[in-house]
Amino acid sequence: MLFDIIIWAGAALSLLGLAGLVWCILRVNRARKAGLSDDDLRAAVQAVLPWNLGALFLSVIGLMMVMVGISLG
């Protein structure tokens, strides 16, 4: 029962991280299509980078929780 909770919580975290990654992709794509100058585009990408890394970290932690739940359950 406990391991099922760990698995489902990990899956939820992974999906939340995946949604964050998709948001980052859409945000950078929108900035690219806006026709910004190189400096403005670089600033937009740098502003999204911490969110991208956070979403990737969240997804990895979720996948690790799933693996631990499956291994121990």
What is the pLDDT confidence band of residue 73, given thresholds at 50, 70 and 90?
confident
φ and ψ at residue 46, rounded to 5 degrees: -65, -30
55 within 8 A of 22, measured Cβ to Cβ: no
1-52 per-position pLDDT tens digit: 999 999 999 999 999 999 999 999 999 999 999 988 999 999 999 999 999 9
**pTM, to two decimals:** 0.86
Residue 65 amino acid letter: M
